[in-house]
Amino acid sequence: MIDKVVSSAHHALSGIKDGMTLMLGGFGICGIPENSIAELVKMKTNGLTCISNNAGVDDFGLGLLLKGKQIKKMISSYVGENEEFERQMLSGELEVDLIPQGSLAERCRAGGAGIPAFFTPAGFGTEVAEGKEARLFNGKPHILEHALHADFAIVKAWKGDAAGNLIYKATAKNFNPMMAMAGKITVAEVEELLPVGALDPNEIHTPGIFVQRIFQGEKYEKRIEQRTLRKT
Amino acid sequence: MLDKIGIAKRIAQELKDGFYVNLGIGIPTLVANYVPKGISIEFQSENGILGMGPFPFEGMEDPDLINAGKQTITALDGAVYFDSATSFAMIRGQHVQLTVLGAMEVSENGDIANWKIPGKMVKGMGGAMDLVASAENIIVAMMHTNKKGHSKLLKNCSLPLTGVACVKKIVTNLAVMEVIPDEGFKLIERAPGVTVQEIQAATEGCLLIDGEVPEMQFAPRV
Domain ranges of chain B: 4-208
Pick the closest to residue A54 from A7, A90, A86 (CA basis): A86
A 10 A CB-CB count for B188 gives 17
Residue A93 lies in a domain: yes
Report the first-to-last Cα separation within chain B, whole angstroms.
24
A 10 A CB-CB count for B189 gives 18
Amino acid at A171: T
Q: Which residues of A touch B122 (CB under 8 A)?
A: 79, 86, 89-90, 96, 98
Tell me: the pLDDT tens digits for A173-195?
Answer: 999 999 999 999 999 999 999 99
CATH fold, domain B4-208, is: Glutaconate Coenzyme A-transferase (3.40.1080)
- Cα–Cα distance, A189 to A162 (Å, whole number): 12
Tell me: the pLDDT tens digits for B158-187?
Answer: 999 999 999 999 999 999 999 999 999 999
CB contact under 8 A, A98 and B83: no
Residue B222, pLDDT above cutoff 80: no
Residue A48 lies in a domain: yes
Residue B122, pLDDT above cutoff 90: no
Q: What is the mean pLDDT of chain A?
A: 96
> Going by DSSP bridges, is the β-strand pair B138-141/B98-101 parallel, antiparallel, or unpaired?
parallel
pLDDT > 90 in chain B, percent:
92
Tell me: the pLDDT tens digits for A197-226?
Answer: 999 999 999 999 999 999 999 999 999 999
Residue A29 lies in a domain: yes
Tell me: the pLDDT tens digits for A22-76?
Answer: 999 999 999 999 999 999 999 999 999 999 999 999 999 999 999 999 999 999 9
The confidence band for B220, taking pLDDT boundaries of 50, 70 and 90, is low
- Cα–Cα distance, B63 to A170 (Å, whole number): 10
When mean pLDDT is compared across B24-38, B146-160, B191-205, the lowest value belongs to B24-38
Exposure letters A126-155 (e unless 16+ CB within 10 A, then b): bebbeeeeeeeeeeeebbebebbbbbbbbb
- Cα–Cα distance, B158 to B104 (Å, whole number): 10
Tell me: the pLDDT tens digits for A105-140?
Answer: 999 999 999 999 999 999 999 999 999 999 999 999
Residue A192 lies in a domain: yes
Which residues make beta-bridge pairs with A178? none
Say what the pTM is: 0.96
Amino acid at B222: V
Residue B142, pLDDT above cutoff 50: yes
- Cα–Cα distance, A84 to B175 (Å, whole number): 39
Please tell me the predicted confidence (pLDDT) of residue B66: 97
Domain CATH number, residue A21 = 3.40.1080.10
Residue B70 distance to chain A (closest CA, Å)? 6
Q: What is the number of residues in chain B?
A: 222
Tell me: the pLDDT tens digits for B79-115?
Answer: 999 999 999 999 999 999 999 999 999 999 999 999 9
Residue B132 distance to chain A (closest CA, Å)? 8
Please tell me the predicted confidence (pLDDT) of residue B221: 53
Question: Which residue from B72, B122, B164 is facing A125, i.e. has the nearest CB?
Answer: B164
Is residue A84 a contact partner of residue A101, using CB atoms and an 8 Å limit? no
Q: Is B46 a catalytic residue?
A: yes
**Average pLDDT, integer, range B127-136:** 95
Find the Cα–Cα–Cα–Cα dihedral A155, A157, A161, A163, rounded to 10°. Answer: -30
Query: Which structural domain, as residue segments, surrounds residue A146?
Result: 9-216
Q: Which residue in A has a C-alpha nearest to residue B33's C-alpha?
A: A230
- This model of the complex carries an ipTM of 0.96
Tally of domains in chain A? 1
Residue A81 lies in a domain: yes
Residue B61 touches partner A, C-beta closer than 8 Å = yes
Find the Cα–Cα–Cα–Cα dihedral B206, B207, B210, B212, rounded to 10°. Answer: -160
- Cα–Cα distance, A106 to A169 (Å, whole number): 21
